[in-house]
Structure 1
Amino acid sequence: MSAAASFVPDEVCRKTLCDRSFATGLSVAVTDREEVVSSGVFGHADQAAGSPVTGDTLFEIGSITKGMTCVLLLRARDAGLVDLDSPVTAYLPWFSVRSSHEPITLRHLMTHTAGIIAGPDVSPDAIFEVWALRDTEATTPPGTWFHYSNAGYKALGLVLEAVHRRPYHELLGELLASLGMHASAPAVTHDLRSRLAVGYEPRYDDRHPVREDGVVPATWIENATADGCVAATARDMTAWLRLLIGRDTGQVREMLTPAILDEEDYPGCAYGLGMQVGDLDGRPHTWHTGGMIGYHAAIACDLDAGIGAAVLANGVGPWLDLAVHLVAAERAERDGVPSPEFTPPLKKPAPPPAAENPPERWAALVGHYRCHNPWLSNLHVHASGDKLWVSVCGGEPEQLVPLPDGAFRVGSDERSPERLRFDVVIDGAAIRADYSGCPLYRTFTP
């Protein structure tokens, strides 16, 4: 960390990186409403080469970009180009989702309340994935339930392109420049690769990760879609934080107004427009996390104290917990009280239901399925307790609920729009499984 900010727990950052993460490098920065108060870099940007993270190293920030997409939409609204409460079809006439409910509006997409799928990320471009929503169903009335959707934000980027008649990443680039984020990039391309830290993933993608197994370089992808395509430095990200904690524009205040409770990820908290809002550490915060293939990030802002922190890494870790801690440490330093201890919770997965011999009606479905989509590389299907379960990329199993059309709903919640279908069966074994538009194929490994 910078020498001027002795309060910041360097050892906490190093220990979290080394003992609690699947990353090799970390970059952090803390700001108040006026300026950066500290920043620091730790570990390696490229483990094989031994290259250290520097202040100029870029990391992909993933879904933190969603708040920036909302700023662009609010500015377009204020310029008379869009109405956030108009149907998406007013701007994308070809947009279609099967639904028995009222039309989906821009605001529904901005608040993740459209009732649509999360999105399988099967295409590097937004257009096909948004077009393919016509093969899915909106399962809840818009505006009534929070279900995170990257596909919805991809659609919002296409709306911005339609009304401005310019590529989304150009509009985003102008926003970054206006904030003074001159080291950042509005799209991840091959030309950017030499400036980016190498992304890392846990060695095995089909089981709960164990630190002793180590990490491997992640699949490289280019990206310019509105659900998450910015690459930035931690110090650059403080410009975005100052916009949020300043709360000196109507647009920012609108973004931070709770729109819907987030029952999925942060019980008791809410989602506004591209930002989470609620109490963290017993104080009012706004925050967002971001995950890409090999990159993970978090920002957190104490709105009353006017302090924000950005944590960027090239792998999975407790980065939101660390960001909230860095905010609390700066607040303690400013108030002249001891810095709090950092004890991020150990999140152990619940033990999966024991696999059993499947009933005859499901015997063809049980197995391991794979594809080359790095976002959804594999899934396991197994039977237990007269129920069918699916575990995606080694994650916690979710129940598969049979539906009248032969598909399965993913999850016990009746509101879930996610579907798993088995549409090719040869010699008594399902060969292909389609997870909400992403096809996966039976593989030989258990």
Structure 2
Amino acid sequence: MATQQFSRRTFLSTSAAAAAGVSFLWTPEMRAEMPAPVIVGPTDEKLDAFITAYMPMMNAPGLSLGLTDAEKALRAAGYGYANVELRQPVTTDHLFQIGSITKSFVALVLLQLRDEGKLDVQKPVLDYLPGLPIVTEFGTVTVHHLLTHTSGLPDNLGLFSADPAARLVQGFKPGEHFHYCNAGFDILGLLAEKLDGRPWRVCVAERIFKPLGMNSTRGVITTADRARAAVGYQPYWDDQVYPRQGKLAAAANMVMDDTAGCIQSTPDDMARYLRMMLNGGKGPGGRVVSEEAFKLFTTPYIKAEEFSPTSSYGYGIAVDTLDGHRILRHTGGMVSFASSIHVDMDGGVAAFASINAMQGYRPTAVTEYAVKLLRADREKKTLPAVPVIADPMDVDNAADYAGAYTAPDGSTLEFKVDGKRLLLVDGARMIPLQRAGGDAFISASPSTRAEYVFAFGRKESGKEADAKKKQPPQPVIEVSYGPEWYAGSRYDGAKEFHAPTEWAAYAGRYRSDSPWGGDAHVFVLKGKLTIDGGPLTLLGGALFRMGEEDWSPLTAEFLHLFEGKTRLARVAGMEYWRVEVG
């Protein structure tokens, strides 16, 4: 059976929603009342038409937008609500958490230090920080490897564990693969602090914010800025899979200085930052980094298809093409914010957008359409049409999944099609399903709480060489719901599966206290141990590799066996405790 695509970034759900606070769900009345900025031209009109349709479809309470060319800011605007309960509109003064876009700031600070002769990016990072809790058995990790996500270290959130003996262990030789690694940029933040001699918040303010006039931006996330910050929102029921249009709740306040993603900013300030990129590293008062350093910053070192099929990665920034133009781009995902930047280096325009909810994916559609509009306007060409936003409930290939599926015990699941809708038959009820990605679906019924996704599997395409050729998708032959497996009429494989008896001790529901954690469901499916549908491969004892790649550095370990059950799972460096609450 085809397993779900797995990475730490897709595995992590959001954790406990604040007990207090208003629930949020877009209604036609709220959409009609949604605060929006003043339209001043045809470019604004088209972009606003797209954004006002995009936000309810993404279930985003508010959005912050900044647009610029190489000479000046073109627009800063707020849409929707910074605080839903108070019906407080988003303004250009509200701080939004920009998440992993912070990584480009880290890279530029380090390139400044390189310009000053304080750093050699090709030197081992352990030469600078010898006490790091890392194991480099596959090869030396340089600063360059960390900047390009090619170190081989796992993408753990948090460098230092409660277990003083814990180490980040490589999974592959540095430089061989792109593996997004937040812990690597936490290391780079520590390196910046050591070489600069000041805390990160001071270092980045003095080196980047002040020279660019980013006077409202903050280098860390703290409750001291709560009055200026937009309220972030996350799923109301965070222990379940949730549809995009599911109810939201205000997230708890966050305090964070991890340099993988700790900057808060405004649209005006982000426009200043992007303007520096459009000018090749120059700010209003001169160069922020040298020409040579900016070239290092924007060189495409390794393919990074996690961003797009055409993306590569530079130093803390993705390098891509859009309509034949060279662009710089990145996204940022926080517990309750999602952000995106597009910088069209050839077209001379750039866009920033951030929403105060972690719904669907980042607002890349907004920033991409914005730069297309700005470029067309700049070149006196016809403005591109407003993109059609697909209804998240539409399943164009719903017929692929329709039919009855039978479990080994004789129980069945049945799916039907109604137009472009895929429906689960539940007695007299028809439960609508929403695509969660690929061949996976979740219940979109507001009255149905569901622990798992419905993961359909297709017939294998045969030889590996044939599988790489573009061809029609193979037929759907099976479906799973958590540990439950059902075969379709076209399935002709084995129907009895066996797993080591000790794995029964690992199976169950685990929960993390981290704001990045949430729930993890461990179960045996078709004789294989999985965690939230992602495959686990035994490395030894109770330690497993996560994901399908044989080089994946991510691991899951099951600890504290008591009364036949392990009580702790250490997953991608975070601790999850077993919970049995029904």
TM-score of the superposition, structure 2-length normalised?
0.71
Paired residue for 1:7?
43
Aligned length: 435
Pairs within 5 Å for 1:286-435: 286-317=328-359, 318-334=362-378, 335-343=380-388, 348-349=436-437, 350-351=439-440, 352=455, 353-354=480-481, 355-356=483-484, 359=499, 360-391=501-532, 397-435=533-571
How many angstroms does 1:361 deviate by?
3.4
Three-state SS of the structure 2 residue aligned to 1:11 is helix
Paired residue for 2:130?
93
Paired residue for 2:235?
202
Equivalent residues of 2:115, 2:293 under 8 A apart? no
Q: Which has the larger strand fraction?
A: 2
How many angstroms does 1:406 deviate by?
3.0
One-letter code of the match for 1:363? Answer: A
Instruction: Tell me, yes or no, if structure 1 residue 168 matches structure 2 residue 256.
Output: no
Measure the CA separation in 2 of the matches of 1:158 and 1:99.
18
Measure the CA separation in 2 of the matches of 1:424 and 1:333.
62
Structure 2 gaps of 5+ residues are 1-36, 282-290, 393-434, 441-454, 456-479, 486-497
Three-state SS of the structure 1 residue aligned to 2:436 is coil
Measure the CA separation in 1 of the matches of 2:162 and 2:203.
20
Instruction: Tell me, yes or no, if structure 1 residue 277 matches structure 2 residue 319.
Output: yes
How many angstroms does 1:133 deviate by?
9.1
One-letter code of the match for 2:348? Answer: G
Equivalent residues of 2:327, 2:342 under 8 A apart? yes
Measure the CA separation in 2 of the matches of 1:6 and 1:29.
17
Change (3 A) 1:56 1:132: farther
One-letter code of the match for 1:328? Answer: K
Measure the CA separation in 1 of the matches of 2:169 and 2:223.
35
Equivalent residues of 2:94, 2:230 under 8 A apart? yes
Equivalent residues of 1:294, 1:314 under 8 A apart? yes
Change (3 A) 1:133 1:320: farther
Instruction: Tell me, yes or no, if structure 1 residue 35 matches structure 2 residue 82.
Output: no
Paired residue for 2:58?
20
Q: Which has the larger helix fraction?
A: 1
Change (3 A) 1:95 1:234: same
Structure 1, residues 276-321: CA drift from partner, whole Å, max 9, x if none? 0112355321101111221111101112101100001111254012
One-letter code of the match for 1:322? Answer: V
How many angstroms does 1:382 deviate by?
1.7
One-letter code of the match for 2:346? Answer: D
How many angstroms does 1:265 deviate by?
3.9
Measure the CA separation in 1 of the matches of 2:165 and 2:553.
11
Three-state SS of the structure 2 residue aligned to 1:329 is helix
Equivalent residues of 2:220, 2:256 under 8 A apart? yes
Moved more, 229-238 or 261-270: 261-270
Equivalent residues of 1:199, 1:295 under 8 A apart? yes
Q: Percent identity?
A: 30
Measure the CA separation in 2 of the matches of 1:86 and 1:277.
24
Three-state SS of the structure 1 residue aligned to 2:576 is strand
Measure the CA separation in 1 of the matches of 2:350 and 2:92.
18
Which of residues 299, 312, 316 is equivalent to 1:257?
299
How many angstroms does 1:58 deviate by?
0.7
How many angstroms does 1:129 deviate by?
5.3
How many angstroms does 1:239 deviate by?
0.9
How many angstroms does 1:2 deviate by?
5.1
Structure 1, residues 93-139: CA drift from partner, whole Å, max 9, x if none? 11242232221111111111111111134xxxx6x359969523111
One-letter code of the match for 1:279? Answer: T
Moved more, 305-314 or 133-142: 133-142
Paired residue for 1:46?
83
Change (3 A) 1:145 1:10: same
Paired residue for 2:110?
73
Instruction: Tell me, yes or no, if structure 1 residue 55 matches structure 2 residue 92.
Output: yes
How many angstroms does 1:157 deviate by?
0.9
Bigger CA radius of gyration: 2
Three-state SS of the structure 1 residue aligned to 2:114 is helix
Measure the CA separation in 2 of the matches of 1:42 and 1:30.
14
Three-state SS of the structure 2 residue aligned to 1:102 is coil
Three-state SS of the structure 1 residue aligned to 2:369 is helix
Measure the CA separation in 2 of the matches of 1:206 and 1:117.
25
Equivalent residues of 2:236, 2:248 under 8 A apart? yes
How many angstroms does 1:38 deviate by?
2.0
One-letter code of the match for 2:257? Answer: A
Three-state SS of the structure 1 residue aligned to 2:134 is coil
Measure the CA separation in 2 of the matches of 1:28 and 1:141.
40
Measure the CA separation in 1 of the matches of 2:108 and 2:530.
40
Change (3 A) 1:130 1:281: farther
Paired residue for 1:394?
none
Structure 1, residues 236-269: CA drift from partner, whole Å, max 9, x if none? 1011111112225332222111011114342331
Measure the CA separation in 2 of the matches of 1:296 and 1:371.
22
Three-state SS of the structure 2 residue aligned to 1:287 is strand
Structure 1 gaps of 5+ residues are 392-396
How many angstroms does 1:403 deviate by?
1.2
TM-score of the superposition, structure 1-length normalised?
0.92
Measure the CA separation in 2 of the matches of 1:263 and 1:43.
32
Moved more, 240-249 or 298-307: 240-249
Equivalent residues of 2:54, 2:389 under 8 A apart? no
Pairs within 5 Å for 1:223-262: 223-247=256-280, 249-262=291-304
Three-state SS of the structure 2 residue aligned to 1:197 is coil
Change (3 A) 1:49 1:268: same
Structure 1, residues 338-376: CA drift from partner, whole Å, max 9, x if none? 323324565632322442498333212221100211101
